[in-house]
Amino acid sequence: MKYFVDWSRTKQVALVYGEKEKQTTPKEFVNMFEENDEVYLESGFSSRIIYSLLDRGIKVYRANSASINDFRTDLGFGDKGSDLDDAHLIQAAYEAKPDLFIEMEKPDESDRELRKLYTMYRQITRDITRFKNIISSHNWEYGTEKGYNGAVEVLEVTKKDILKQMIPYIKEDLSSFKEETGIKGIGPALMAQLLAVAHPKNFSSLSKYLAYVGCKASTFYKTFENGKGSGRGRFNRDASQTGYLMVSGVMRAKDPITEEWYYVIKEKFQKEHPDWSNGICHGKASNRLRTQIMKRIYKSLSNNDYQEILEA
């Protein structure tokens, strides 16, 4: 049986299956499936619940929320709807473009712990930004931040503590990467953030890995209105952003390997496109450099030999 689910931590869970629809509590939801049932949902769903389903032999398929929302207008759904409407939207998106949904694999205990810690790290990072914005607003409006005095400092300490807990899970991978590539400027913090969401061992090919980390637009879908590709592929935004941070890290470290790549690529763009500004050439070269770094990470941490691809 295929179930299409709109999840909420604070409200009832909405499900559509066959010709039926249902709303139930999160507790009841977890226990209502049988082995080999298929659950289709969008990103943002509770990892703990997903792991519970996978442990019981239930197949879970997930699509990016932005990809699902892109179908709202094309499939006749309004901007906002009920939870059941959203579950029907997920079903309609699946029927229109099933390969938007990627089957989730059952992670081992180490992967689960690293992902859990990263989820906490990411949320606290967002909370720090939110509180800083609130403090700035209060200072501007009332001339005081008294109500939030010390809140950011407490969160910063917590964030550092979570990062320390993440590092042991990636120490061996980071050592392997450094020994094989010699690239400087990518430390444990950045490597932990990348491997928590995109570890090369979980990808059967370099092409799939590059697409997932945002270096290759591989999966395009067409809009129903004009039949043209939207230009948006499936990728993990956190992994993509971490890749850009890695580019900044190696440039700040003045790593000789990546600096040579960067300037060769930038010079090539400047010669081929004399009308492009220095900023455009920098951006294009940075994108290419990010791809080169991800290729090296994949080669050093996967079990496959892709030297011929790296040299292509």
Across 80-132, the runs of DSSP E, i.e. the strands, are 102-103
The pLDDT assigned to 185 comes to 94
First-to-final CA distance of the chain: 45
Distance CA(219)–CA(270), nearest Å, equals 30
CATH of domain 2-103: 3.30.420
The Cβ of residue 48 has, within 10 Å, a number of other Cβ atoms equal to: 11
Q: Contact, 23 vs 14, CB < 8 A? A: yes
Distance CA(185)–CA(252), nearest Å, equals 7
Q: Contact, 182 vs 101, CB < 8 A? A: no
Q: Where are the domains of the chain?
A: 2-103, 108-169, 171-312
Indicate the angle between helix axes 278-301 and 171-181, nearest 10 degrees.
110
Distance CA(198)–CA(193), nearest Å, equals 9
The Cβ of residue 22 has, within 10 Å, a number of other Cβ atoms equal to: 16
The mean pLDDT values, 10 residues at a time, for the chain of 312 residues are 82 86 85 90 82 90 82 68 83 88 84 88 90 84 71 90 92 93 92 92 87 69 38 70 94 92 94 93 93 94 62 44
Give the amino acid at 31.
Answer: N
**Contacting residues for 196 by C-beta, under 8 A, at least 6 apart:** 114, 115, 117, 118, 166
The model's pTM is 0.70
The pLDDT assigned to 29 comes to 85
Q: Contact, 98 vs 104, CB < 8 A? A: no
**Contacting residues for 188 by C-beta, under 8 A, at least 6 apart:** 166, 167, 170, 171, 174
Q: Could you identify the residue written with the tokens 């450099």?
A: 289
Handedness of CA 153, 156, 162, 168 (dihedral sign): negative
- 251 exposed, middle or buried (CB, 10 Å; 0-12, 13-18, 19+)? middle
Q: Is 294 helix (H, G, I), strand (E, B) or coil?
A: helix
